[in-house]
């Protein structure tokens, strides 16, 4: 006989990953559940989250029936959201993977300006770590390698203007050095 109080394990561990600036404004947010379906609900949740955490350096909190691990760095706040019965260590491993991957790719400059300049890499990083709430990978070095590899293999028609200009600068630099 199964008790009602026993929760069934699920692969859908992550309910959301959020990055806010030090003013509480959203830089990037991905929600993997149906709890916050409108932008307004998401923004209200993020405002509440920011108000509870912006003075702390990082830890675990319970808010609106969610377990949230967070980390504060320079002018950014990183959050990983899970259900109340989720293991905080699992959520923290995703948070650590996200931060360490970004730190590697951004050459230790995990700040708002560099995050904006490399938003495509940040989004790829999120996709490599988590897919629809399922944790795919938690090794930051492997994530960084995959994201950098994908960036190098993007066809010219799908590259951003910044990527094309950077590639052109590299080509000109190498032609001048020859």
Give the pLDDT score at 144. 86
Domain contains 67: yes
Whether 61 maps to a domain, the answer reads yes
- Reduce the secondary structure of the chain to three states and give it as a string: CCCCCCCCCCCECEEEEEEEECCCCEEEEEECCCCCCCHHHHHHHHHHHHHHHCCCCEEEEEECCEEEEEEEECCEEEEEEEECCCCHHHHHHHHHHHHHHHHHHCCCCCCHHHHHHCHHHHHHHHHHHEECCEECCCCHHHHHHHHHHHHHCCCHHHCCHHHHHHHHHHHHHHHHHC
Q: How many domains, in total, are found in the chain?
A: 1
Q: What pLDDT score does 106 carry?
A: 81
pLDDT given for residue 163 in this prediction = 64
Q: Is residue 30 part of a domain?
A: yes
54 lies in which domain range?
Answer: 14-177
Domain assignment present for residue 1? The answer is: no
- How does pLDDT run along the chain (178 residues), one tens digit per residue? 455 556 677 788 899 999 999 899 999 999 998 888 889 999 999 999 999 988 877 789 988 889 999 998 888 999 999 998 888 999 999 999 999 999 888 888 788 888 888 888 888 899 999 999 889 988 888 888 888 765 555 555 555 666 667 777 777 777 777 6
Question: For residue 7, is it within any domain?
Answer: no
- Would residue 5 count as lying in a domain? no
Is 4 a domain residue?
Answer: no
Instruction: Write down the pLDDT at residue 178.
Output: 61
Domain at 19, CATH number = 3.30.450.60
In a domain, 148, yes or no: yes
């Amino acid at each position: 006989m199964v008790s009602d109080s026993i929760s069934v394990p699920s692969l859908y561990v992550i309910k959301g990953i959020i990055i806010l600036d030090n003013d509480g404004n959203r830089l990037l947010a991905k929600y993997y559940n149906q709890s916050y379906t409108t932008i307004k609900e998401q923004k209200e949740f993020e405002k509440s989250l920011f108000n509870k955490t912006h003075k702390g350096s990082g830890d675990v909190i319970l808010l609106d029936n969610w377990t949230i691990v967070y980390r504060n760095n320079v002018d950014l706040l990183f959050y990983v959201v899970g259900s109340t019965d989720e293991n905080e260590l699992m959520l923290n491993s995703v948070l650590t993977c996200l931060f360490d991957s970004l730190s590697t790719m951004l050459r230790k400059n995990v700040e708002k300006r560099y995050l904006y300049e490399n938003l495509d890499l940040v989004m790829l990083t999120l996709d490599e770590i988590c897919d629809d709430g399922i944790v795919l990978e938690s090794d930051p070095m492997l994530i960084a390698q995959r994201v950098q590899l994908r960036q190098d293999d993007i066809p010219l028609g799908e590259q951003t203007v910044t990527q094309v200009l950077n590639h052109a600068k590299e080509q000109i630099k190498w032609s001048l050095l020859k």
